Amino acid sequence: MNAPMSIKGRSSPARGRERLVVIGNGMAGCRAVEEILARAPDRYDITIFGAEPRVNYNRIMLSPVLAGEKRFEEIVINPQEWYDDNAITLVWGDRVDYIDREHKSVVARSGRVEPYDRLLIATGSDPFIIPVPGHDLDGVVTFRDLDDVDRMLAAAETGGDAVVIGGGLLGLEAAHGLSLRGMKVTVVHLMPTLMERQLDEAAGWLLRKELEGRGQTILTGANTKHIHGVDGRVVGIELEDGTRVKADIVVMAAGIRPATGLAKAAGLDVERGILVDDHMVTSDPAILAVGECVQHRGLCYGLVAPLWDMCRSLADFATDAPTGYSGSVTSTKLKVSGIDLFSAGDFSGGEGCEDIVLRDASRGIYKRIVLKDDRIVGTVLYGDTADGNWYFDLMRRQEDLSDIREGLIFGQAFASGGALADPSAAVAALSDDAEICGCNGVSKGTVVKCIEGGAHSLDAVRAGCKASASCGSCTGLVESLLSVTLGGDVESGPKAMCKCTSFTHGDVRRQIVEKGLREIPQVMQELHWSTPDGCASCRPALNYYLLCAWPGEYVDDQKSRFVNERMHANIQKDGTYSVVPRMWGGITNPRELRAIADVVEKYDAPMVKVTGGQRLDIFGIRKEDLPAVWADLNAAGMVSGHAYGKSLRTVKTCVGSEWCRFGTQDSTGLGVQIERMTWGSWMPHKFKIAVSGCPRNCAEATIKDFGVVCVDSGYELHVGGNGGIKVRATDLLCKVESEREALDHCAAFIQLYREEAYYLERTAPWIERVGLDHVKERLFSDPDTVAQLAARFRFSQTFMQDDPWARRAAGERSDLHSHIATVRPVAAEMEKA
């Protein structure tokens, strides 16, 4: 999609409309258009030129995309439908090369000429490339757009070493993402303090300590002298002091510069940025400019919040209701998971200023407020940023704080004499123009208006005004506003995992991966569990999530399992247990039947029953006999059927084409292969599979978690069935032609379920929650996804089928290799059978 492309075009403007041409399809340009459309939807005939071959997306959310927390589709601000619905011509992948002011037209690289009545320049900024030898080597990248992210992701696929030049916001977010992707990261920063424009020395030291604790190497006061390469490819960097650092990729994040080349060539007044007045008008009355490319009252802004203020003023002027932009006070938050950091204003101090400082070393908290004439001029918060918005609002409004000065550092609730101890009351006290969502420039008044207009849930607010729709750091504020505005009428969202935490299952799963949490106590500490050791609800869930996130690394915690899983048998109401050995696909042989009969006689089991999953269940086994029972069954080559586990239970089959006159495929053989592939796999809940040899469906495949129905032309794959209290028929996932495809799709579906579903959520409610379309999109949107998911599943199985738990279930007490040697010959024998 590199060729210039017009998504939607018109040959001439609509009658009576002025022609507005926008150079820049980014956040500022499109936000300005949104503001204009909100005021006068029929005023302009709009054409937008974008250099990138894609729709408008949230550039400040590139960091979560790099870190794997978001997909590109989730950060799109204006999808294709927005351009279509507003009759906007989007010309993407075609950079404007020339502005002809005399003839009031622009000329694109493709040769396209577009006339304008009004022109809006929103070209943003360009990354600053340090002009050191080797800066043009392959593998030296910037961090400004999605193409840069794709280049970094490609480098991270093979691991290796990454060097990030620049310890500012972008540099640290790039370092965080590459670190999460498995690279060994070194940050090289010229100044002695990280983020020196936003942090003082104390907060910078805390930040450095935290990042180093996450495995990153931080080099401050370090000047890059040379970037070295071999055969045109980067291999490392050299610093002024002679230090050399190995690098498979070098990310330049040393700053940005307003993109003014186009405006300068057109003869507009330019200094550091394109000069604009309070209405965003340049030195040419027909040309406006907005965003990072402009200079207003001597200042250029590189953060997103001022852009929204500029866009509102621009739209007022462009629709004949001029108000004027007087500049912005900015605040900063670092989008690195698990690091709470807030900075605003000027904290350099100086004559007439005084500092109020709070330090809590044990909790890693540092707060500093800079006052001048009893008004806040700057603040730095690290470790506890809950009052950041309040301080920022006080600073922006320049309120006299002499009456609450003594309690100011302890936050809004304390400074207000306890009257605002309730977070909802605290947010209610904010002014209507206080910023709630910095990512999307949404004020408190806008959120309240959205709620009063019918948005009675968090998701509805996100959809209505975009507050909390990007990085999510303002979610608590939005929820408080919902509570204040609606009282008890707030529509409930996902529930907390249990009474020990306020986090949902989805939150916990995401945080485990983002923060690299690998132990249950570590999860509880990092996520602020309210109980010392958790409870019977959260401990099994945490144990599963850690098993799923870190196969081969995390050691299964037996005390965090339910009693049946610890005993490897199902407890009965009389205190005895039932034991179910595995029968692959429902097939057995004399050796196995003889072993079962011997166990029944030896341990005086009162009953043996054929289960619905085509196995034999031995009832009445005493707890003290369980190890010996499993030892005897294992001696005959039988392993646990996991009839008690949150795992694969059974693979039910019919006899298929080998015996049945209606059979179309070898359903028994395929069922054995599927069971061999999936046994021992831990899952959010029990999981049942069936393979029916023809559409008559004797194995009842259409009420299983995963079902295969054989047909003449191949295999129909069904998902999400349930034959329990709430019966649910399966949904048709897809149709495949070969057994190999059926196996791969089964493995891929299971892995997707394991990675996305909540603990104790079966496939039926999971699919009803996320939707079948979501499942299909996750599996089939990319031709490689099925293979990738299947590979992850098979990788995890190498640990799950051979882990110490499986060894104990088989009655083994020797080492892992002994277990493998015992189980695999049995599997080979089953294949021969």
pLDDT at 814 over 70: no
- Binding-site residues sit at 654, 660, 694, 698
Radius of gyration of the chain (CA): 31
Who's near 475: CB < 8 A, 6+ residues apart? 458, 468
Kindly tell me if the per-residue pLDDT of 60 is higher than 60. yes
pLDDT at 418 over 60: no
In the sheet that holds 607-610, the strands lie side by side as: 570-571, 577-579, 616-621, 607-610
How is residue 4 written in tokens?
């210039």
Cα–Cα distance list, 359 to 53, 192, 333, 363 (Å): 48, 21, 20, 9
Separation between Cα atoms, residue 76 and residue 518, nearest integer Å: 32
563 to 312, 544, 554, 673: CA distances (angstroms): 61, 15, 21, 30
Domain covering 5-125+258-318 in this structure, CATH number: 3.50.50.60
Q: Residue 825 — very low, low, confident or very high, per pLDDT cuts 50/70/90? A: very low
Residue 784 has pLDDT above 70, yes or no: yes
Q: How far is it between the farthest Cα atoms of the chain?
A: 102
Whole-angstrom Cα distance, residue 258 to residue 270? 10
Angle between helices 304-318 and 27-39 (to 10 degrees): 40
Q: What SS3 class is residue 458?
A: helix
Helix ranges restricted to H, 220-325: 261-265, 304-318
| Residue 460 one-letter amino acid | A
Domain borders along the chain are: 5-125+258-318, 140-254, 496-561, 564-645+803-821, 648-800
- At 411, the pLDDT band (50, 70, 90 cuts) reads confident
Q: Are strands 294-296 and 224-230 parallel, antiparallel or unpaired?
A: unpaired
In CATH terms, the fold of domain 564-645+803-821 is: Sulfite Reductase Hemoprotein; domain 2 (3.90.480)
Query: In what order do the strands lie in the sheet containing 89-92?
Result: 5-6, 89-92, 44-50, 18-23, 118-121, 287-289
Residue 758 pLDDT > 80, yes or no? yes
pLDDT, tens digit (0-9, with 9 covering 90-100), for 191-210: 999 998 888 888 888 899 98
With 90 as the cut, is the pLDDT of residue 803 above it? no
- Give the confidence band of 472 by pLDDT, cuts at 50, 70, 90: low
The residue type of 758 is Y
Q: What are the binding residues for [4Fe-4S] cluster?
A: 654, 660, 694, 698
Q: Options 3.30.70.3270, 1.10.3720.10, 3.30.413.10, 3.10.20.30; which CATH number does 648-800 get?
A: 3.30.413.10
Tracing tokens 């350099």 back to the chain, one arrives at: 348
Mean pLDDT of 677-706: 92
Q: Which of 7-21, 48-62, 387-401, 457-471 has the lowest mean pLDDT?
A: 7-21
For the cut 80, the answer to whether the pLDDT of residue 395 exceeds it is: yes
The pLDDT value recorded for residue 243 is 96
pLDDT of the residue at 747:
95
pTM for the model stands at 0.58
Closest C-alpha to 30, from 94, 114, 99, 90? 90
Six token digits for residue 611? 């289960």
| CATH superfamily of the 140-254 domain | FAD/NAD(P)-binding domain (3.50.50.60)
Q: How do residues 86-112 score in pLDDT, each as one tens digit?
A: 999 999 999 999 999 999 999 999 999
Q: What DSSP element (H or E) covers 463?
A: helix 458-465
Annotated binding site for siroheme: 698
Which has more pLDDT, 104 or 490?
Answer: 104
Q: Do domains 140-254 and 564-645+803-821 have the same CATH topology?
A: no
